[in-house]
A and B are shown apart, each in its own frame.
Chain A
């Protein structure tokens, strides 16, 4: 079926691909447990149903060995899941040196982007491919949620506070556009607060930035 979104959207960055692999590891583990529990549940319900012959259950009260096993095994697996996630957190948190810094401001109900050369846009987010981009995120009014599904990251935009995340788009995605919705409830038009991110080659990005800035100056009556 065309255009029915049912799974993770395309991953734009390497970091997003790594997050997806983490997701598949965790999903694999929980899916295995899901199958185990459902199979045991349904098997037991059918196998041990009440019949003429099976009129009463076993008189057991418990079993310490089993208790220990099913406490320790999940503990080990869960702690393992936590531990392997830690390095992703630090990778997300630490931007590479010399990123292109784009200032993001949430407004009711649009996103404002300020580029390094002073260009200021509404809902238009263009980023250079192959270079680290750092978003400095804040809000002019209420809390918004700056979310780029293709990058698998979001941070709330808060008044009086700055949050950050970074990304580096793959060069293979040059020319592609991605949705940038607001995902923290921010009032009546929350669901219409929506920017579009387009990936440009670094040279196109520079040209675009410069030409847009000129247009902006011209139209503001210089």
Chain B
């Protein structure tokens, strides 16, 4: 606390940023770093798609292709989506939303960021010595046999990112339990903070399994152990159990905070209280809990008895219930509203709800054991993960960035270019990822550098889509960078939002609140009728 309130004697980049323990600055650092990695991961994705423009793989050789998709997925999962949602949004918003002056452990918070940065740099610098080539799942025994330092670098990266995540999650849990402002009961807590609360528990309980999995992998590679060597009594399936015991919860870690963002954005632009506050909050808890009981749905064909998949099929189908409860509550929030089509609202409504549900539905299909027998490890699964991660997580991230941009910078983004970027993203998502369903149904396996000629057409369509997404990304990021410097100055609460972060100046003062607020009600209250003048009044600083 004391550290967060200290006013620096003299300003310098070093003091302001490198030495900072301010949760807002750490959040921004997380955001900027992760967006940089987003570009790197995106370039690898374009490399993957360019290779698949022809069936014969003329762009790079197969080994390089395998390295590209491994780098792509590793970067996107461990260095982009998780750090953006928890590190950037979580850090920036949670203390403000609960009315605290900082996170519970500001120095540990800074340590999380620096560990994350080192993790990312390990992978980036490591790239010049050798890239991992075993997929982001890195299943042994292939990953044990894989030559060169690539997999070792991958293990280091995952370890450091995991450590950063565990420290961060402890920080969120303590902050949310201990540092809420007077009157901020759990039932008055903003829904983004609720989602971070559940996410933090998932990170805390799941990440150690991943650490165990990758550590044993490293031991098998270099220290003669045989955890995963069948010939000497080890078992490669053990790795998959450990890996998915982490990575299934991880897919919810990659979407729950996004759900939280949507729950903040929709009521503001529909000008209504959120519909079903308790249902939304508790469904996150249900997802967090059930998320630990479905991991083997990634392993229906991995060597378990087929019937052993049945309990996991049932739990996976059940976990779709809390998710659909949220969708219906969001729809009901828009119902009867007065919807303003601002850029964040476009990403949250059409962009997110409109795309994400496709990933939810394909998830229900592959959760079915007999159907997954046919579709596992085909492009159908690639379509599924991208509808949830791109149509889902990335859309929520964009909604959140454009929503809180005026708060963080005190300036407004360029709206027209915001819409243009949105449409590139919306169209690009469908063109890139929808055809992958068709490829998967037709039997095209994933992780293929070359493929049979009958799959050519839809692969070309998907590749065109990926370039649309690439252009969209440039448009969106350039808009953010330019507007952060030259955007029109805005007042503190340009969207007329209700959570606590909007009650302070934009950008907020270093200590957040001059006086710790006293909370008397839940932030989702009805909006009074607006005078037409208020709406058209020129926004001034």
Interface, chain A (partner B; CB < 8 A): 1, 3-9, 19, 22-23, 26-27, 30-31, 33-34, 37-38, 40-42, 44-45, 48-52, 54-63, 66-67, 70-71, 74-75, 78-79, 81-82, 85-86, 88-90, 92-93, 141-143, 145, 147, 149-150, 152-156, 158-161, 163, 165, 179, 181-192
Contact = CB atoms under 8 A, between A and B. Distances in A.
B205 interface: no
A71 B445 contact: no
Contact of A155 (B301, B318, B456, B526): B301
A31 B358 CA distance: 9
A31 B321 CA distance: 16
B338 interface: yes
Interface in B410-454: 438-439, 441-454
Residue from the set B142, B307, B444 with the largest chain A CB neighbour count within 10 Å = B142
Nearest to A187: B142
A26 B336 contact: no
A163 to B, nearest CB: 5
A181 B445 contact: yes
Contacts of A187: 66, 142, 145-146
A34 B320 CA distance: 14
Contact of A30 (B321, B337, B340, B361): B361
A192 B57 CA distance: 11
29 contacts: A5-B439, A23-B374, A31-B361, A37-B331, A37-B353, A44-B337, A45-B349, A45-B350, A49-B341, A50-B340, A57-B270, A57-B526, A62-B275, A63-B332, A71-B325, A78-B317, A82-B313, A85-B370, A89-B310, A90-B307, A93-B305, A141-B145, A147-B443, A181-B445, A184-B139, A186-B142, A187-B142, A187-B146, A191-B447
A181 to B, nearest CB: 5
Given A49-B340, A158-B236, 11 more contacts: A6-B442, A19-B371, A30-B364, A33-B357, A44-B334, A50-B338, A61-B277, A62-B329, A78-B317, A161-B230, A188-B133
B457 interface: yes
Contacts of A66: 276, 328, 332
Interface string B367-391: 0111101101110000000000000
Given A3-B454, A163-B303, A185-B135, A57 B62 contact: no
Interface string B346-360: 000110011001100
Nearest to B70: A185
A26 B305 contact: no
Given A154-B373, A185-B139, A85 B334 contact: no
A37 B332 CA distance: 11
B273 interface: yes
Nearest to B328: A70
Given A145-B301, A156-B302, A8 B442 contact: yes
B272 A58 contact: yes
Contact of B279 (A49, A54, A62, A75): A62
A105 B349 CA distance: 49
Interface in B51-100: 57, 62-63, 66
B231 interface: yes
Interface stretch (B118-126, B154-162, B527-535): B527-535
Contacts, number: 300
A48 B320 contact: no
A192 B447 CA distance: 11
Interface residues of B, number: 102
A78 B334 contact: no
B455 interface: yes
B324 interface: yes
Nearest to A19: B370
A7 B279 CA distance: 38
Residue from the set B320, B339, B443, B451 with the largest chain A CB neighbour count within 10 Å = B443
Contacts of A3: 453-454
Nearest to A161: B303
The majority secondary structure among interface residues of chain A is: mixed
B306 interface: yes
B336 A188 contact: no
Contact of A26 (B276, B327, B371, B535): B371
Contacts of A33: 324, 357, 361
Contacts of A4: 454, 456-458
Nearest to B373: A153
Contacts of A152: 370, 373-374
Interface string B200-221: 0000000000000000000000
Contacts of A34: 357-358, 361
B127 interface: no
B62 A56 contact: no
Contact of B447 (A31, A37, A185): A185
A42 B426 CA distance: 14
A191 B451 contact: yes
Contacts of A59: 272-273, 526-527
B335 interface: yes
A36 to B, nearest CB: 9
A81 B368 contact: yes
B364 A54 contact: no
Contacts of B444: 5
B134 interface: yes
Contacts of A191: 57, 62, 445, 447-451
A141 B442 CA distance: 28
Residue from the set A52, A155, A185, A187 with the largest chain B CB neighbour count within 10 Å = A185
